[in-house]
Amino acid sequence: MSRSLVKSDSAAAEEMLSILRQSLKSCKTPGETNFEAKVPHIFVIFGASGDLAKKKIYPTVWWLYRDRLVPENTIFFGYARSDLRVEQVRAKCEPFMKVKEGEKERYEQFWKLNHYVKGSYDTRRDFELLNQAMTKAGTVRANRIFYLALPPSVFEVVTENLKSCCMATDSWTRVIIEKPFGKDSDSSAKLSNHLAGLFKEEEIYRIDHYLGKEMVQNLMSLRFGNRIFGPTWNRDNISSVFISFKEPFGTQGRGGYFDDFGIIRDVMQNHLLQILCLVAMEKPCSTAADDIRDEKVKVLKSMEAVGLEDVVLGQYVGDPDGEGEAKEGYLDDPTVPEGSTTPTYALAVTRINNERWDGVPFILRCGKALNERKAEVRIQYRDVPGDIFHGQTKRNELVIRVQPGEAIYCKVMTKTPGMSFGLEETELDLTYGSRYRGAKLPDAYERLILDVFCGSQMHFVRSDELAEAWRIFTPLLHQIEEQKPKPIPYIYGSRGPEEADKMLAENNFVYSGSYKWTKPAHHL
């Protein structure tokens, strides 16, 4: 009997947490014997007054502390230029912390472990004061994790000051940084060289939060933990791979920030390319972080740079019949420069020139202000050779739905049930909400920050991966900036430009439109 039938939701969730806590006890990290060692941990959030800190980082460390997943002897520091006290940071975070009944006492304890230091990012003296405060609040010997929830313009000066004044003594230091890791190959190399001059690669944790998502992490288990997929996972059987990200909202007044980057830098060059690597890579010789990352880099090295001829670019316009934000196009956002040609939608056909994938298009698509929220990988198989069903068969598709509603389903042909000998399309369906009812699927940031405590870099981006990712997209980004091709307008809330479907059809993706899904009664 499945877990979901015998346990209440909260009992199942608690059981999973307890398994995780047990496994953490044996989590070995470089520089100490195990995760429960007596050495305290200090977690520092630079940019503690900002948006990312209040919406994501403070809530995440609170949830980890609440669930007793980080060591009990951890203390937390916020650092920013604003003149704040812990109570004020707490007040800013409050709407995002999701504190439930019964957690109040633990929540109070969490804030008692918090400190705040006001300081500027370019003044060495302020970092010395931070260091003194950390030493005073903890012990001289403490492992230190620094989270840079900061704009990229201060990455360099902050890491320099951190290195000069705040490194752990006789314990480890880890630095977490978030994209953007530069804007193109040159700027990214400059940042990488800067960081490499200060820290060892094993001290740097480059976050791509898609690597923390359940179904992205599941790609390796699915591919290498099953016999049925391996033999067909190649150019002989697969016709195209479609990796897609859609969001049903626009820039929501933050277009000024977005306009500097565009959708290719925002989503395609990082989140979608990381997924591509996990779908395409060869089996690593172990699950060690560097063995996996070695294989991912090989995939990227086998890819040619993308050019304008490989893409469809779009920009959303307002829907006159829409409501609220939907009426506004990208260019109506007052923070967007007039006449901007920055794409908010992109579809790119990429190719991997190796023995497994030669001739199989890997199509990446991402867009804002579309008809739905969805991120998925769609592996479309070739037509069945030697047709005996008079053209009735449709291609198999294996769909790994990352969000919303994690699921893996495989579209297959079956005999129409009953007396008929006809064929029909159906699916083999593993929907997590039904199969693993009550299982707690942690937020991507929870998994990734926990990995940093554990010293696991498996789900973080290595510098050579990053350099290759920029090599693939830099020529296209420069072409867009220099030539300013006019993006195709698409209506807010639509599926995007029709030209994208045409490019899909020209690249081994067949959309038949005949598949009908009936939600089973047991689905949530």
The binder of 266, among ligand NDP, ligand BG6, none, by C-beta within 5 to 8 A per type, is: ligand BG6
Q: Which two tokens stand for residue 95?
A: 């709407």
The binder of 219, among ligand NDP, ligand BG6, none, by C-beta within 5 to 8 A per type, is: none
* Contact residues for 367 (Cβ-Cβ < 8 A; gap 6+): 245, 246, 247, 263, 314, 316, 344, 345, 346, 490, 496
431 lies in the site for ligand NDP, by CB under 6 A: yes
Interface map 230-249 toward ligand BG6 (x if CB under 6 A): -----------------x--
266 lies in the site for ligand BG6, by CB under 6 A: yes
501 lies in the site for ligand NDP, by CB under 6 A: yes
Smallest CA-to-CA distance from 381 within 292, 252, 508 is with 508
Compare residues 198 and 488 and give the one whose CB is closer to ligand NDP: 488
173 lies in the site for ligand NDP, by CB under 6 A: no
**Is 10 exposed, middle or buried, given 0-12, 13-18 or 19+ CB atoms closer than 10 A?**
exposed
The number of beta carbons lying within 10 Å of the beta carbon of residue 387 is 10
Smallest CA-to-CA distance from 146 within 61, 266, 85 is with 61
Smallest CA-to-CA distance from 214 within 442, 374, 435 is with 442
Which residue stretch of 33-41, 124-132, 247-255, 402-410 sits at the interface with ligand NDP (rule: CB under 6 A)?
402-410
Determine the Cα–Cα distance for residues 440 and 213; give it in Å rounded to an integer: 13
* Contact residues for 274 (Cβ-Cβ < 8 A; gap 6+): 208, 210, 211, 216, 296, 461
> What's 221-260 look like in SS3?
HHHHCCCCCHHHCCCCCEEEEEEEEECCCCCCCCHHHHHC
68 lies in the site for ligand NDP, by CB under 6 A: no
- Of 143, 477, 504, 508, the one binding ligand NDP by CB under 6 A: 504
Which residue stretch of 64-72, 288-296, 313-321, 424-432 sits at the interface with ligand NDP (rule: CB under 6 A)?
424-432
Q: How many residues bind ligand BG6 (CB under 6 A)?
A: 4
* Contact residues for 339 (Cβ-Cβ < 8 A; gap 6+): 331
325 lies in the site for ligand BG6, by CB under 6 A: no
The nearest distance, CB 516 to ligand NDP, in angstroms, is 8
Q: Which two tokens stand for residue 305?
A: 């740079």
Compare residues 270 and 431 and give the one whose CB is closer to ligand BG6: 270
Radius of gyration of the chain (CA): 24
399 lies in the site for ligand NDP, by CB under 6 A: yes
373 lies in the site for ligand NDP, by CB under 6 A: no
* Contact residues for 418 (Cβ-Cβ < 8 A; gap 6+): none
**Which residues, numbered 368-397, are part of the site for ligand BG6 (CB under 6 A)?**
375
The binder of 167, among ligand BG6, ligand NDP, none, by C-beta within 5 to 8 A per type, is: none
437 lies in the site for ligand NDP, by CB under 6 A: no
- Of 282, 429, 443, 499, the one binding ligand NDP by CB under 6 A: 429
**Is 173 exposed, middle or buried, given 0-12, 13-18 or 19+ CB atoms closer than 10 A?**
buried
Which residues of the shown chain bind ligand BG6 in the complex (CB under 6 A)?
A: 247, 266-267, 375
Which residues of the shown chain bind ligand NDP in the complex (CB under 6 A)?
A: 244, 378, 399, 405, 407, 409, 427, 429, 431, 495, 501, 504, 511, 515, 517
